[in-house]
Amino acid sequence: MAAVTWRQARCWCPSLLQVFRFPVAQVHLGRPTMRASQQDFENAMNQVKLLKQDPGNQVKLKLYALYKQATDGPCNVPKPGVFDLVNKAKWEAWNALGSLPKETARQNYVDLVSSLSPSSEASSQGTHGADEKVQESKDIVVSSEDGITKIMFNRPTKKNAITFQMYQDIMLALKNASTDNSAITVFTGAGDYYCSGNDLTNFTSAAGGMEEAASKGAVVLREFVNSFIDFPKPLVAVVNGPAVGISVTLLGLFDAVYASDKATFHTPFSHLGQSPEACSSYTFPRIMGSAKAAEVLLFGKKLTAREACAHGLVSEVFPESTFEKEVWTRLRAYAKLPPNSMRISKELIRKNEKEKLHEVNAEECTTLKARWLSDECINAIMNFVSRKAKLGRPQSS
């Protein structure tokens, strides 16, 4: 069909008084039960101009046809030539209304606009004008703006370490983001850290002790990582500072990773008596080659942002001073790309890997459950909790 610009569609509705000057009762933008008055019709024409989203060619043609039918009556002008694509499409839409009475066309126009009005626009399509908080949770803040859903680790006093509750909150945020109106989803951290990984007190504060924490942990971890494997939209990490443990390994499941030059990437699993998770035992060797992946996953070699970029884990590194501005400007531009095209391309990219990733995730979780109950791991966690050891430092006895 001929392309009809949104500007053209808006021009089909002559400028009249602003709809918001009228009391709601007069506007009748809910489902009408009476015949639409001339005033309702004029209000609806103004309402069209307030729509934030282009409703698409079909709807725009329908609006045009109903407008013409309601004002001029049945179409009796000559059909435009075959090469005048836009006017031909408009003529055909109008002509298709045949002898529909003017009053009915006016009513149908008001009904159609009602279904597109800002309130239904927001609820049916999840439109978010200003930065809108979309999920209430203390340590995970989810907001949506400019086609981007932002999921932020928000526990800066604990370097954004992830508690059991935060795993649940993130899963919920991803579930919502997969169907909301945003084109892309972005993770970032509040404060100086991106994230310090799993909260090590998850294991020590569980009521039933390590046994219970390990069982619960394996189930939660598997479900948590699955929600990243299956996430359908482009997933981007904006790594604002150091990243540790699971916040690093998950990056292998992201579509793009942008890092500040003050970010570092550290997976001290052996220091903690643990083993890799989030499919990193599979994704890291593929991303960075087996030799570098071994250094990172077995020996806990911490990578700078530039090293992580050179080894393919990070897409691009930005100077700290311009990081936020540059990255968000870029992401806002990406979020304007056709969302269905991005989803379909991501699906193609991930399709052949999905089954393998689920398999790897399951195996890593089983392995980790046993690791969490090992002396090596329990000692390392106890050392951290009693402040005898910090990341990467040999444990004192």
Ligand X SMILES: CCCCC/C=C/CC(=O)SCCNC(=O)CCNC(=O)[C@H](O)C(C)(C)COP(=O)(O)OP(=O)(O)OC[C@H]1O[C@@H](n2cnc3c(N)ncnc32)[C@H](O)[C@@H]1OP(=O)(O)O
Binding site for ligand X (CB under 6 A): 158-159, 161, 167, 196-202, 217, 220-221, 244-246, 268, 272, 274, 277, 384, 390-391
Strand locations in 283-363, DSSP E?
303-304, 316-318
Q: How far apart are CA 39 and CA 107, in angstroms?
A: 11
Q: How far apart are CA 181 and CA 172, in angstroms?
A: 16
- Least separation, in Å, of the C-beta of 187 and ligand X? 15
- Least separation, in Å, of the C-beta of 260 and ligand X? 16
Closest residue by beta carbon to ligand X: 245
Please answer whether residues 305 and 320 qualify as being in contact, where contact means their C-beta atoms are separated by less than 8 angstroms: no
Dihedral in degrees, nearest 10, Cα atoms 334, 340, 345, 350: 110
- Least separation, in Å, of the C-beta of 129 and ligand X? 36
Q: How far apart are CA 289 and CA 279, in angstroms?
A: 15
| 95/165 with CB nearer ligand X | 165
- Least separation, in Å, of the C-beta of 218 and ligand X? 8
CA 40, 41, 43, 48 torsion-angle sign: positive
Q: Which of 10, 29, 9, 11 is nearest to 19 (CA)?
A: 29
| 210/391 with CB nearer ligand X | 391
| 234/268 with CB nearer ligand X | 268
Q: Which of 269, 268, 265 is nearest to 243 (CA)?
A: 265
| 142/161 with CB nearer ligand X | 161
- Least separation, in Å, of the C-beta of 144 and ligand X? 26
β-strands 132-135, 140-145 pairing: antiparallel
- Least separation, in Å, of the C-beta of 127 and ligand X? 34
Count other Cβ atoms within 10 Å, centred on residue 187. 26
Q: Which DSSP helix (H) or strand (E) runs through 237?
A: strand 235-239
| 63/246 with CB nearer ligand X | 246
| 201/395 with CB nearer ligand X | 201
In the block, tokens 């400028």 appear at 15
> Residue 317: beta bridge partners?
259
| 116/272 with CB nearer ligand X | 272
Q: How far apart are CA 95 and CA 98, in angstroms?
A: 6
- Least separation, in Å, of the C-beta of 380 and ligand X? 8
